[in-house]
């Protein structure tokens, strides 16, 4: 879509007019063949907006607004569909970080304007990818999370197919005697209510339940997922729009807990087994059926233990308190001991902890378990060390209950059987839990349109699983709704661009199909990428990876950035005005630069910033362009990568860093020192460090001297 | 509770503590704020955090034979700062109450003193004995002429009742303290080179100056009440012995002249004790809870003391006002109360003086209660 001639505007408000010579700046667009820019001290005000709106009404379709950061006032400078708006950041990017009326400030503003003009010239309003989509939500796993997700989706108006491997719904909660309290005053174990929940599902007309069933295959993309399910009645195929995986957890294998006595006495059981033993009301020890009058609960059995599960399973503290209540309710003379690392009973659960703690027959202590030994009379001896008493405590009990933690069911795999080039499972982060951006987008997985909910995603109890699943169901609906109008989900929510590929130049190198963090590309036998645009999250990693430069977006492509680099004016060497190109990820680094502006951090006026969707979209050719043009150094700002990554696209900054590793050779051929390129991990709150990072880099560049190519560049 | 190295929580003991002031003991979640704010605890293995845990676990033995429980002076600083409302000061007081019963020799006396149901029967004992003595000596008629209490009870007669009672009290106290001391030594043996004399000396100095009380914050006012009563009580004790010496050695008979030094000491002691206990009672009734919760043990002890002092003062005033009927009746009540206090001292809260003193000596000897 072409919008015709570009109409430039220069806002002189917010200090811009005081920082730069606007009359001189106005010559830049004119030199590029654009009309004389309009000025106003307050373009975001009613009067200023009217000036722009009048131009739009008169037919202007492409606006270049040189004012503040594109991250501000986006709604106000939106003049409707079909009107392209390009923003040039003269405020945070220039006036607020540079010396006013300085020649270098002026040159910075002029370059920013030139780069903006080129960007506007080289891009188009994206044409969205729109297909007729199916909006049914598939929920895999019919425990409390799956039930809650199904009910939430159905009540929001979606059709739901709920697939459960067992003969009936209910999952783990159905096996429980009681659940811990969720209602005021939070003092007594409650009925699980799972049967009522199952009834609700049965009564919900929009939900179709398939039990004793297994997903055999899922192929396609959001809105177009083709699902094969095998059940008692045979195999059936249908199409869905999005998927919620709520396959829950499996208790940590007690066989691995021999050091806590499991397997050495029948009277050492897990919390899951104890639940079944409690149903009848009287608790008997398995060895001889004697009533258990003393029960020791050993917390963190296999959890928070580097040799087992290193994480907290989150439900065991409350479960043991609840089971201690079973013990005490069964017999007032019975004793329940709880040996813990820390009691973790957040929020209102604290009321139940207090209630159980107040019970005369419940004995708590922080402790490490030193030994669990079966005794001749069937009892079990438990020795605890490092207790709160300062001495070892030894108790003789009828029954030992191991508060075993949870492992994600995703670890087993096989629940979704995705027909994806990158594999059949949701990519995992740690301990088998599905990967997502755990701070910003916890429900998201790295498979667009597929959401993990409940204990499969993170250790959680049934109460949290309910709300978690409801959230995931709404995310699933949001995904199909956005997809149906060609829009992306997080992190570039609403983006309608998608990768376009010139297949005739593809060398089947598979870099795009391997590197896409979301597994957007499938592959044919030869290795040709088969894009699934609705899986795309628009990070541009494929574009950055492609050595042939054949992947582009309507409004973001290799040539656009290359042209912006070429638009930077390079002063002759003798002027001693070095030029450093900055590539900044738009998710954290760009906001950090804006923060630097807001807090008036002084930055070197010699930097020229280009914002990228993700550092993963960084094409190596841009570095080539920069150095052959005479740029003296390049700074890359991306998010933290690694185990505790912050990258909004999980792998983007890590991939960029990897590509940097291969850069040395290329630069060596150009006789450019590899130190002229520097990679920095930056979080938004690191804006205070920006001045120092950039200052240090400028000193380094000064020490190395100018880019040797400068004299050859025009 | 210790058998074969296994801990066996004593549910009955927990119930006893809860009944006798420690109702919130289970609320403790072991944050140790109490031990941090306590000004009287030793730095090493400080109380009352560990005592709270022992109480929750029903560890009767460790608590009843713990000297630390007695180093606590019930300031209430811990209770005032406890984030969980577990009231550690009350819990330690409850442990001491339980100790009065458990350490008592004979133990049946401890049990009788611990419940209101036995109050009237044990009060009836001195009444009956004194009435019996009165009836057998000269009948129940009021003596004629100037009011002289020795007309009602000749001194030899009083002594023939109270000296055996005193011997009983001293013997029971000795046996109880011995039991307590042995228990403390069993749980934590004293070093061989422990300097007992120095420990006793330190303890006496500390008690005289009420040094521990001085460190209290929440209940700092109590120091003065306790001190007044303490010294008043000592003055009265000396007076009683001096009167015996007058009678048997110097043959000076009561009533003594008001300007007699012994009489003056006695009157001064009575006023001080009266003021002290009045202060205690008023603060118990009208305070804002800084005195901790009061139990049956507290009230029987305080009221017995108060009534003894009041009847003592009443006897003297009624005698001086020449109101024979009133004077002899109040004097009879006074003797009954003294009997009550003296005979039951080793089993009531009165015995705190001997347990606390013993625990302080033990702790100093163990190197645990240094200043």
User: Which domains are present in chain A?
Assistant: 1-125 (3.40.50.920), 137-248+409-484 (3.50.50.60), 253-405 (3.50.50.60), 500-552 (3.30.70.20), 556-714 (3.40.50)
This model of the complex carries an ipTM of 0.88
Better-predicted residue by pLDDT, A60 or A3: A60
Q: What is the pLDDT of residue B17?
A: 95
Q: What is the pLDDT of residue A642?
A: 86
A216 CB neighbour count, 10 Å cutoff: 13
A chain contacts of residue B9, beta-carbon cutoff 8 Å: 335, 361, 363
Task: Provide the shortest C-alpha distance from residue B211 to chain A (in Å).
Answer: 29
A331 interfaces chain B, CB cutoff of 8 Å: no
- Nearest Cβ partner for A357 among B6, B15, B26: B26
Taking the C-alpha atoms of residue A656 and residue A640, their distance in angstroms, rounded to an integer, is 12
Please answer yes or no on whether B11 and A354 come within 8 Å at the CB atom.
Answer: no
A390 interfaces chain B, CB cutoff of 8 Å: yes
Q: What is the pLDDT of residue B143?
A: 83
* pTM metric for this prediction: 0.88
Please answer yes or no on whether B18 and A360 come within 8 Å at the CB atom.
Answer: yes
Q: Of the candidates A205, A319, A342, which has an alpha carbon nearest to the alpha carbon of residue A273? A: A319
Please answer yes or no on whether B57 and A388 come within 8 Å at the CB atom.
Answer: no
- Nearest Cβ partner for B5 among A333, A361, A394: A394
Mean pLDDT of chain A: 94
Please answer yes or no on whether A335 and B9 come within 8 Å at the CB atom.
Answer: yes
Q: Tell me the H-state helices in A448-536.
A: 462-484, 511-515
- Nearest Cβ partner for B7 among A359, A388, A395: A395
What percentage of chain A exceeds 70 in pLDDT?
99
B168 interfaces chain A, CB cutoff of 8 Å: no
For the cut 80, the answer to whether the pLDDT of residue A246 exceeds it is yes
Taking the C-alpha atoms of residue B83 and residue B74, their distance in angstroms, rounded to an integer, is 18
Please answer yes or no on whether A361 and B30 come within 8 Å at the CB atom.
Answer: no
Pick the residue from chain A with its C-alpha nearest to B47: A389
For the cut 80, the answer to whether the pLDDT of residue A290 exceeds it is yes
Task: DSSP letter for A395, please.
Answer: E
Using pLDDT thresholds of 50, 70 and 90, give the confidence band for residue A1: very low
Extract the residue ranges of chain B whose pLDDT is less than 50: 1-2
Taking the C-alpha atoms of residue A299 and residue A344, their distance in angstroms, rounded to an integer, is 11
3-state secondary structure of A327: helix
A chain contacts of residue B56, beta-carbon cutoff 8 Å: 363-364
Rg for chain A, CA atoms, rounded: 31
Phi and psi torsions of A678, nearest 5°: -130, 135
Taking the C-alpha atoms of residue A57 and residue A60, their distance in angstroms, rounded to an integer, is 7
pLDDT in tens, A94-111: 999 999 999 999 999 999
The beta-strand segments (E) located in A260-398 are: 268-270, 294-301, 335-340, 362-366, 368-374, 380-385, 393-397
Task: Provide the shortest C-alpha distance from residue B5 to chain A (in Å).
Answer: 7
Q: Of the candidates A592, A619, A635, which has an alpha carbon nearest to the alpha carbon of residue A92? A: A592
* Peptide bond preceding A203 in cis form (omega within 30 of 0): no
B chain contacts of residue A360, beta-carbon cutoff 8 Å: 11, 14-15, 18, 26, 58
Task: Provide the shortest C-alpha distance from residue A224 to chain B (in Å).
Answer: 55
pLDDT in tens, A379-419: 999 999 999 888 899 999 999 999 999 999 999 889 999 99
Q: What is the pLDDT of residue A713?
A: 63
Q: What is the pLDDT of residue A3?
A: 57
pLDDT in tens, A42-88: 999 999 999 999 999 999 999 999 999 999 999 999 998 889 999 99
Task: Provide the shortest C-alpha distance from residue B10 to chain A (in Å).
Answer: 9
Chain-centroid distance of CA B298 in Å reads 9
Question: Do A600 and A652 form a contact (C-beta atoms < 8 A)?
Answer: no
Question: Do A523 and A553 form a contact (C-beta atoms < 8 A)?
Answer: no
* Peptide bond preceding A120 in cis form (omega within 30 of 0): no
Task: Give me A136's structure tokens.
Answer: 């049914």
A chain contacts of residue B53, beta-carbon cutoff 8 Å: 365, 388-389
Q: What is the pLDDT of residue A714?
A: 54
A393 interfaces chain B, CB cutoff of 8 Å: yes
Phi and psi torsions of A369, nearest 5°: -85, 120
pLDDT in tens, A684-703: 999 999 999 999 999 999 99
Q: Of the candidates A465, A448, A377, which has an alpha carbon nearest to the alpha carbon of residue A133? A: A448
A599 CB neighbour count, 10 Å cutoff: 12
The mean pLDDT value for A603-626 works out to 96
The mean pLDDT value for A207-217 works out to 97
Task: Provide the shortest C-alpha distance from residue B180 to chain A (in Å).
Answer: 22
Task: Give me A260's structure tokens.
Answer: 């806590």
Cβ-count burial B327-349 (b if 16+ within 10 Å, e if not): bbbbbbbbbbbbbbbbbbbbbbb
Task: Provide the shortest C-alpha distance from residue A332 to chain B (in Å).
Answer: 10
The mean pLDDT value for A196-220 works out to 97
- Nearest Cβ partner for A393 among B7, B29, B58: B7
pLDDT in tens, A488-538: 999 999 999 999 999 999 999 999 999 999 999 999 999 999 999 999 999
A364 interfaces chain B, CB cutoff of 8 Å: yes
B chain contacts of residue A357, beta-carbon cutoff 8 Å: 26-27, 29
């Amino acid at each position: 879509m072409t919008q015709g001639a570009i109409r430039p505007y220069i806002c002189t408000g917010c200090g811009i007019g005081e920082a730069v010579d606007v009359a001189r700046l106005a010559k830049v667009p004119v030199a590029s063949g654009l009309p004389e820019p309009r000025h106003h001290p307050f373009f975001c005000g009613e009067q200023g907006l009217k000036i722009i709106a009048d131009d739009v009404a008169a037919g202007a379709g492409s606006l270049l607004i040189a004012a503040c950061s594109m991250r501000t006032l986006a709604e106000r400078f939106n003049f409707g569909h079909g009107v392209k708006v390009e923003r040039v950041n003269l405020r945070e990017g220039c006036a607020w970080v540079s010396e006013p009326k300085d020649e270098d400030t002026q040159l910075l503003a002029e370059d920013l304007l030139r780069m903006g003009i080129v960007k506007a010239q080289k891009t188009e309003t994206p044409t969205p990818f729109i297909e007729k989509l199916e909006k049914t939500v598939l929920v895999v796993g019919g425990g409390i999370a799956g039930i809650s997700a199904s009910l939430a989706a159905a009540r929001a108006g979606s059709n739901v197919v709920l697939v459960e491997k067992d003969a009936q719904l209910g999952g783990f909660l159905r096996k429980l005697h009681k659940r811990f309290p969720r209602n005021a005053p939070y003092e007594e174990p409650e009925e699980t209510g799972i049967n009522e929940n199952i009834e609700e599902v049965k009564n919900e007309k929009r939900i179709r339940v398939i039990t004793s069933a297994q997903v055999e295959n899922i192929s396609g993309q959001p809105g177009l997922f083709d699902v094969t399910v095998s059940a008692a009645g045979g195999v059936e195929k249908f199409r869905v729009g999005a998927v919620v995986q709520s396959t829950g957890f499996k208790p940590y294998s007690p066989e691995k807990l021999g050091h806590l006595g499991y397997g050495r006495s029948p009277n050492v059981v897990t919390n899951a087994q104890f639940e079944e033993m409690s149903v009848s009301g009287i608790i008997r020890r398995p060895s001889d059926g004697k009533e258990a009058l003393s029960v020791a609960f050993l917390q963190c059995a296999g959890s928070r233990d580097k040799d087992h599960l290193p994480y907290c399973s989150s439900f065991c503290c409350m479960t043991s308190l609840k089971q201690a209540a079973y013990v005490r309710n069964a017999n007032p003379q019975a004793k329940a001991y709880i040996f813990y690392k820390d009691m973790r009973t957040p929020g209102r659960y604290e009321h139940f902890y207090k209630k159980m703690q107040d019970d005369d027959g419940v004995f708590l202590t922080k402790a490490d378990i030193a030994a669990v030994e079966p005794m001749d009379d069937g009892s079990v001896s438990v020795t605890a060390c490092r207790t709160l008493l300062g001495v070892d405590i030894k108790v003789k009990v009828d029954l030992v209950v191991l508060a075993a933690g949870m492992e994600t069911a995703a670890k087993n795999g096989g629940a979704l059987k995705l027909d994806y080039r990158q594999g059949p499972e949701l990519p995992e982060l740690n301990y088998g839990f599905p990967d997502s951006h755990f701070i910003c987008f916890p429900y998201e997985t790295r498979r667009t349109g597929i959401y993990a909910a409940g204990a499969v995603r993170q250790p959680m109890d049934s109460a949290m699983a309910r709300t978690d699943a409801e959230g995931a169901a709404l995310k699933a609906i949001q995904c199909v709704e956005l997809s149906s109008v060609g829009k992306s989900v997080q992190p570039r929510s609403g983006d309608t661009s998608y990768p376009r590929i010139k297949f005739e130049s593809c060398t089947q190198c598979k870099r795009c199909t391997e590197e896409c963090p979301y597994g957007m590309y499938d592959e044919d036998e030869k290795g040709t990428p088969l894009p699934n645009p609705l899986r795309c999250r628009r990070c541009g990693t494929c574009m950055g990876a492609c050595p042939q430069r054949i992947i582009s977006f309507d409004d973001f492509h290799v040539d656009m950035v290359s042209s912006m680099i070429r638009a930077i004016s390079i002063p002759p060497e003798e002027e001693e005005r070095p030029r450093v190109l900055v590539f900044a990820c738009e998710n954290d680094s760009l906001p950090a630069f804006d923060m630097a502006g807001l807090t008036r951090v002084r930055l070197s006026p010699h930097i020229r910033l280009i914002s990228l969707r993700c550092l993963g979209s960084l094409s190596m050719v841009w570095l080539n362009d920069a150095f052959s043009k005479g740029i003296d150094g390049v700074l890359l700002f991306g998010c933290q990568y690694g185990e505790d990554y912050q990258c909004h696209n999980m792998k983007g900054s890590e991939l960029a860093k990897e590509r940097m590793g291969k850069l040395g050779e290329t630069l060596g051929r150009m006789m450019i020192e590899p130190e002229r390129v520097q990679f920095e991990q930056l979080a938004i709150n690191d804006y205070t460090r920006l001045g120092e990072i950039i200052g240090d880099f400028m000193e380094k560049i000064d020490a190395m001297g100018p880019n040797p190519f400068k004299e050859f560049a025009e | 509770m210790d058998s074969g190295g296994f801990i066996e929580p004593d549910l009955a003991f927990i119930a006893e503590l809860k009944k006798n002031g420690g109702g919130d003991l289970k609320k403790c979640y072991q944050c140790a704020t109490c031990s941090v704010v306590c000004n009287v605890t030793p730095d090493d293995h400080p109380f009352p955090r560990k005592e709270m845990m022992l109480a929750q676990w029903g560890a009767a033995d460790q608590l009843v034979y713990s000297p630390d429980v007695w180093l606590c002076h019930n300031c209430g600083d811990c209770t005032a700062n406890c984030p969980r409302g577990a009231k550690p000061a009350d819990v330690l007081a409850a442990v001491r109450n339980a100790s009065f019963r458990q350490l008592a020799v004979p133990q049946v006396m401890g049990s009788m003193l611990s419940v209101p149901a036995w109050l009237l029967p044990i009060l009836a004992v001195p009444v009956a004995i004194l009435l019996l003595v009165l009836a057998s000596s000269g009948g129940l008629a009021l003596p004629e002429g100037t009011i002289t209490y020795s007309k009602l009870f000749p001194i030899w007669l009083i002594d023939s009742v109270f000296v055996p009672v005193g011997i009983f009290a001293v013997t029971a106290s000795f046996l109880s303290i011995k039991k307590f001391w042995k228990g403390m030594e069993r749980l934590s043996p004293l070093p061989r080179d422990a300097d007992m004399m120095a420990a006793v000396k330190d303890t006496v100095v500390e008690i005289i100056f009420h040094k521990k009380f001085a460190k209290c914050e929440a209940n700092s006012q109590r120091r003065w009440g306790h001190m007044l009563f303490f010294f008043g009580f000592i003055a009265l004790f000396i007076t009683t012995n001096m009167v015996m010496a007058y009678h048997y050695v110097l043959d000076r008979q009561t009533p003594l002249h008001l300007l007699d030094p012994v009489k003056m000491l006695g009157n001064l002691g009575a006023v001080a004790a009266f003021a002290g206990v009045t202060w205690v009672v008023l603060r118990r009734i009208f305070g804002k809870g800084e005195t901790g919760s009061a139990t049956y043990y507290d009230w029987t002890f305080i009221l017995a003391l108060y009534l003894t002092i009041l009847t003592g003062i009443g006897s003297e005033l009624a005698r001086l006002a020449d109101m024979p009927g009133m004077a002899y009746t109040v004097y009879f009540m006074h003797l009954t109360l003294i009997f009550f206090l003296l005979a039951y001292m080793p089993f009531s809260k009165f015995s705190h003086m001997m347990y606390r003193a013993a625990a302080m000596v033990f702790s100093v000897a163990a190197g645990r209660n240094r200043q």
